[in-house]
Amino acid sequence: MGKGMSEELKQLVLDKRKEGKLVHTTIEGFVGIDVSEFIKQPADGILYDLNRLEEVVLTFIDDPKWANDFAVALTIRELK
């Protein structure tokens, strides 16, 4: 992703947030979806769409950020 695309993505995410939507990546690219609709999925669907399944997060165990990502996965599972 080039610098221009990075700026476009930032703006897309922030604009969609104002609409009550989140942005995530699909095979078709970045999409915006109402948060209220997104969270109707089972935990596995949410974690898959956010690329935060535990087995995925553990592949980044050498990056300190993995601990927060892992905590997010566990939290989503508990909330669901």
Q: What is the mean pLDDT of the chain?
A: 93
Write down the pLDDT at residue 65.
94
Alpha-carbon span 23 to 38, nearest angstrom: 10
Whether 25 has a pLDDT exceeding 60, the answer reads yes
What is this structure's pTM? 0.83
- Give the whole-angstrom CA distance, residue 30 versus residue 28: 7
Write the pLDDT tens digit of every residue in 40-75: 999 999 999 999 999 999 999 999 999 999 999 999
Position 4 scores a pLDDT of 63
